[in-house]
Amino acid sequence: MTVTYWEEEIETLPRVGLESIQLRRLQHLVKRVYRTVKPYRSKMDAAGVKPEDIKSLADLKKLPFTTKNDLRDNYPFGLFTVPMEEVVRVHASSGTTGKPTVVGYTRKDIELWAGIMARALCCAGATKEDMVQNAYGYGLFTGGLGAHYGIERLGATVIPVSGGNSKRQINLMKDFGSTVLLSTPSYALNLAEAMDSMDIDPSSLSLRVGVFGAEPWSENMREEVEKKLNLKAVDIYGLSEVMGPGVAMECLETDKGMHIFEDHFLPEIIDPDTGEVLPPGEKGELVFTTLTKEAFPIIRYRTKDISRLIHEPCECGRTLVRMEKVTGRTDDMLIIRGVNVFPSQVEHVLMGIKGVEPHYQIVVERDGNLDSMSVQVEVSEGLFSDEIRVLENLTKKIQAEIKSLLGVTCRVKLVEPKTIQRSEGKAQRVIDNRKI
Amino acid sequence: MRVEQIAVFLENKSGRLAEITSILADNDINIRALSVADTADFGILRLIVDNVEKAKTILRDGGFTVGKTDVLAVEVVDKTGGLATVLKSLHRACINVEYMYAFVNKTGENAVLIFRFEKMDEAIEVLQKDGFTLISGAQICAL
């Protein structure tokens, strides 16, 4: 089988060449960020590091980390490096409290992203001949639009169907002859189930490849989705703070890790407790520095995702390092149907409702293939009423506010006081019963 | 003329009602009337007891969420149409019933209807004007 590359030269460049490109881009970035963004400058000054100190890639570790809190503190546009008239698009994802995390793109960034995403799709074996059904959500979430521009850049035909409405998805698949499906893996399984109930045999469809991401999924899930949808399933990684989908992509040749597009994104693995860079091949927290983005570059962003870098050469010939499937988080973030949810956001909603006490618990289950979240709230005397209607309105209100802030529908269950377990130290806010 | 009622939040779990009634029994509190309203997830137990304050305190100490609300108790003769005449009178005056329950007293001659209204004062006025007998909490306990 011949491997098709989108940008063969850079994808197969010997490491020495790649590293010299990375260093040049890093030095340029650090200079620019130091000059244009005050919060970065202050942090670097506090750490006693100047742009000139970055003499090799190993000097990256001298730079301070950037965290989600830095994004929150500079909400909404404080970390942008260009004036707003040069920003042509913004996206946002969940912050840890009420405010989302905002990222911006110049026209050049959008073009860059489209190219990187096209490269990712090419890595998954997609070509301009393909009919690509994009079932990632369109909107503030980077998934839908990010993938969309990449599909167009590849020259394939994009069906911008967005998420949800399974029956329509399947009818389009059938009528248009979709060959590639982009969605969260759990939604893909949901589509398989819907096909079954519509009496549609997946082998009668033209689906060939599924590009699944935005939530953690296991090898077992891969087998299941491949069998049920009669396609080859590949994993894609991305996060809005770094760019969006297309930061790393699995190739067709191996199912052991995703190639990180290192000419744009510089990865590190650190010990989440000490912040020390770990030796090659060790498991730890994934940290990214963007090398080419204009509006919103980011230096040493702590993803909180746990992974490992695979330095061994890949059968596909790409020299780009691979990252193992994300196996966990260093924080309490949950991913519910592809949406990032922080327990602190749920708490923020609850505390905004009069009479609600800070005793709550989030229970996550996987019903069939879809995640479901329920929030248990203890009924204090301040909330209680002798009328059913009043209590039902209360649960509806909590549900609506969580939906509005997080974009996730949850079930709200009122429980008796003192029934949620109290702990000595940190309260156990989340019970995750999913087996991924 | 108002009657104090206590309401207790109940999760739909087996044994909760038994637990409440045992707590009340252990403390010599007599239940005169009760009703349970329920949804798929939870229920509300409403009680008329002979010692409201004590019942409230001991249930709260037992870990329950307890509320106190005013209701009206209307005594009618226990015969066909007794409830209907009361409801007709309320309907004419456009007074909405939030919920109600009823019991028959020991002699079996009269029935007592417990009502919860949003517009309590108007309800009292209408019922008295139409000649219905409102009874107090003490009277209920004496029945």
CATH number for A387: 3.30.300.30
Residue B131: Cβ-neighbour burial (10 angstroms; 0-12, 13-18, 19+): exposed
Q: Residue A289: which of A8, A16, A20, A23 has the closest Cα?
A: A23
User: Residue A171 gets which letter from DSSP?
Assistant: H
Distance from CA of B124 to the nearest CA of A (A): 20
pLDDT at position A218 is 81
What pTM, to 2 d.p., does this model score? 0.78
pLDDT at position A92 is 94
Please report whether residue A1 resides in a domain: no
Partnered with residue A415 across adjacent β-strands are A378
Q: Residue B46: which of A380, A386, A418 has the nearest Cβ? A: A386
Query: CB A381 to CB B46 under 8 A?
Result: no
Please report whether residue A216 resides in a domain: yes
Partnered with residue B42 across adjacent β-strands are B11
Where is the domain boundary, B52, B69, B86?
B69
Q: Are B61 and B100 within one domain? A: no
pLDDT at position A80 is 97
Q: What is the CATH number of the domain that holds B128?
A: 3.30.70.260
Chain A: residues touching B (Cβ < 8 Å): 379-381, 384-389, 391-392, 413-419
Distance from CA of B43 to the nearest CA of A (A): 8
Residue A145: Cβ-neighbour burial (10 angstroms; 0-12, 13-18, 19+): buried
Q: Are B77 and B117 within one domain? A: yes
Residue range B62-78: average pLDDT?
Answer: 93
How many domains, in total, are found in chain A? Answer: 2
Q: Are A207 and A185 within one domain? A: yes
Q: Are A187 and A81 within one domain? A: yes
| Size of the A and B interface in Cβ pairs below 8 Å | 55
Q: What is the CATH number of the domain that holds A57?
A: 3.40.50.12780
Residue A376's alpha-carbon distances to A153, A189, A408, B3, in angstroms, are 46, 28, 15, 33
Side chain identity, residue A1: M
Q: Are A169 and A301 within one domain? A: yes
Residue B51: Cβ-neighbour burial (10 angstroms; 0-12, 13-18, 19+): middle
Q: Are B99 and B131 within one domain? A: yes
User: Mean pLDDT in each 10-residue stretch from start to end of chain A (436 residues)?
Assistant: 88 96 98 96 97 97 96 95 97 80 97 98 96 95 96 98 94 97 90 92 96 86 91 96 97 91 98 96 96 98 96 94 91 86 86 79 85 91 90 93 88 88 69 82
Query: CB B63 to CB A416 under 8 A?
Result: yes
Q: For B23-49, write each residue's pLDDT tens digit.
A: 999 999 999 999 999 888 899 999 999
Q: Please report how many Cα atoms fall inside a 13 Å half-sphere around the Cα of residue A334, on the Cβ side.
A: 25
How many domains, in total, are found in chain B? Answer: 2
Please report whether residue A181 resides in a domain: yes
Q: Are B46 and B105 within one domain? A: no
Q: Are A319 and A362 within one domain? A: no
Q: Are B57 and B105 within one domain? A: no
Q: Are B47 and B35 within one domain? A: yes
Q: Please report how many Cα atoms fall inside a 13 Å half-sphere around the Cα of residue A131, on the Cβ side.
A: 12
Count CB atoms within 10 A of the CB of residue A38: 11
8 Å CB contact between A120 and A245: yes
Q: Are B34 and B60 within one domain? A: yes
Residues in chain A: 436
Q: Are B65 and B125 within one domain? A: no
Query: Which of helix, strand or coil describes residue A102?
Result: strand
Q: Are B82 and B120 within one domain? A: yes
Q: Are B59 and B77 within one domain? A: no
Q: Are A168 and A311 within one domain? A: yes
DSSP assignment of A392-404 equals: HHHHHHHHHHHHH
8 Å CB contact between A81 and A31: no
Query: CB A386 to CB B65 under 8 A?
Result: no
Where is the domain boundary, A282, A302, A331?
A331
Q: Residue B65: which of A380, A388, A413 has the nearest Cβ? A: A380
Q: Are A162 and A181 within one domain? A: yes
Please report whether residue A3 resides in a domain: no
Contacts of A435 (CB under 8 A, 6+ apart): A366
How far apart are alpha carbons A4 and A144 in whole angstroms?
24
Residue A341, token pair as written in the block: 């949810």
Q: Are A270 and A416 within one domain? A: no
Q: Residue B41: which of A381, A389, A414 has the nearest Cβ? A: A414
Where is the domain boundary, A331, A361, A388?
A331
What is the residue range of A203's domain? Answer: 8-331
8 Å CB contact between A325 and A257: yes
Residues in chain B: 143
**Which residues of chain A does B11 touch, with a Cβ-Cβ cutoff of 8 Å?**
414-416, 419
8 Å CB contact between B67 and B7: yes
Q: Are A428 and A288 within one domain? A: no
Distance from CA of A391 to the nearest CA of B (A): 9
Q: What is the CATH number of the domain that holds B19?
A: 3.30.2130.10
Q: Are A261 and A379 within one domain? A: no
Query: CB B10 to CB A416 under 8 A?
Result: yes
What is the residue range of B45's domain? Answer: 2-69
pLDDT classification of B143: cutoffs 50, 70, 90: confident
Q: Are B20 and B64 within one domain? A: yes
Beta strand ranges found along A255-300 (DSSP E): 258-260, 265-270, 283-290
**Which residues of chain B does A414 touch, with a Cβ-Cβ cutoff of 8 Å?**
9, 11, 41-42
Q: Are A301 and A361 within one domain? A: no
**Which residues of chain A does B66 touch, with a Cβ-Cβ cutoff of 8 Å?**
381, 384
